[in-house]
Structure 1
């Protein structure tokens, strides 16, 4: 296999990053591997290296609240192949990852053979999603698609709502006006087909449970 790939590993656990690092080197010799332990470190890295061949992204690391990191990266780097590598292996999570435009999903519980096969498949241009983790629940898929219509900023607002923050606090955190937050709320409620913040938070929790 061609050994000129550049792959970024974004995960806040040094031991797992190291294990992934070793696995990739064994599978794909000579590959350039870069690492990031937070969303801010990853974004800084992408400014210097804007066109890596592959990004392996953990959903839970500093600066990323659930799907927010994936949504932001998808918006800013639409051509970047992103494969989520996560310990959250529920079908609803995998369905949402797919809805948000990830190129694949590799469970952290995968053995070396599965990991290598998945990486090779993605680098050859074929998405990788374990069939046993793809949900055939129509309601779940519909919800994932609705949440996938949110912009990065709307998803951030929804995440802060879920954390119990008030409009005033969210406006302060995002450095925008309260009127802007209210406009985001209106758009979120419309896209999710809910009437209030409580229903919106319940939907988000359903996807992340």
Structure 2
């Protein structure tokens, strides 16, 4: 039986490494690729059912845990494996709590990457052995889970509107960016405020940013020296 896998990552070299690992793990695999969140959701909606999604938390449009929560809500039958340069135990704990079946750091050697994929395909959770104790020692953040559920209830277009609000865009700018009417943006905002149970766009933006994650690569670029 063919296993269908979607690799969602904006780095071609890492997509190639994941493809190699998948071919090592599976005798019959069909692989498709995406480089941002919009193309990922489009493929999940239009392609034949995908069994496994390998998701980069920091690819364009994903917005960290917010994107993960949205995908898990929209496509609950798809097993999601997070692949990320971020190796902080708290981030891994959050990803697992938000529905990831595994968390694979991008520094993982190919043989271990292959074992991780085999573990997930066997319907078992996987985290790096050297981080497992630290991850298991962390408590689940119930407030974050509730927030993720609320964000996951947004439609894809509402998600895009909220992401732009969190980025400081005004309604007129959002309308131009998404090629929609300004009154449509206002209608989306009304629904967003209701679904997130917040009073205004400022609170909505703060809530969204709470689930965003800082990309370690960009963090290093900003560091002096």
Structure 1: give runs of 5+ residues left out of the alignment: none
Residue matched to 2:141: 137
By how many angstroms is 1:24 displaced? 2.4
By how many angstroms is 1:196 displaced? 1.7
Residue matched to 1:150: 154
- Greater CA drift, 45-54 or 198-207: 45-54
Alignment partner of 1:188 is 2:187: no
- Does structure 1 retain, via aligned residues, the 8 Å contact 2:81–2:100? yes
Alignment partner of 1:198 is 2:197: no
Q: Secondary structure at the match of 2:180?
A: coil
- Greater CA drift, 187-196 or 31-40: 31-40
Structure 2 residue aligned with 1:177, among 173, 181, 193? 181
Structure 2: give runs of 5+ residues left out of the alignment: 214-225
Residue matched to 1:162: 166
Give the Cα separation in 2 of the matches to 1:155 and 1:97.
Answer: 21
By how many angstroms is 1:126 displaced? 3.7
**TM-score normalised over the length of structure 1:** 0.74
CA deviation string 1:59-94 (max 9, x = no partner): 333454445655665566453333222224453575
| Residues paired across the two proteins, number | 206
Residue matched to 1:107: 105
- Does structure 2 retain, via aligned residues, the 8 Å contact 1:93–1:207? no
By how many angstroms is 1:17 displaced? 1.4
Q: 1:167 to 1:79 in 2, by over 3 A?
A: same
Q: 1:16 to 1:136 in 2, by over 3 A?
A: same
Residue matched to 2:218: none
Q: Secondary structure at the match of 2:207?
A: helix
Give the Cα separation in 1 of the matches to 2:19 and 2:126.
Answer: 19
Q: 1:159 to 1:141 in 2, by over 3 A?
A: same
By how many angstroms is 1:160 displaced? 0.4
Query: RCO (CA 8 Å, sep 6+): is it higher in 1 or 2?
Result: 2
**TM-score normalised over the length of structure 2:** 0.70
Residue matched to 2:212: 208
By how many angstroms is 1:179 displaced? 2.5
CA deviation string 1:121-164 (max 9, x = no partner): 32223454676176523333333333333332222111001222
Q: 1:74 to 1:65 in 2, by over 3 A?
A: same
- Does structure 1 retain, via aligned residues, the 8 Å contact 2:70–2:152? no
Across the aligned residues of Structure 1 and Structure 2, the Cα RMSD in angstroms comes to 3.4
- Does structure 2 retain, via aligned residues, the 8 Å contact 1:67–1:97? no
- Does structure 2 retain, via aligned residues, the 8 Å contact 1:71–1:151? no
Give the Cα separation in 1 of the matches to 2:96 and 2:190.
Answer: 24
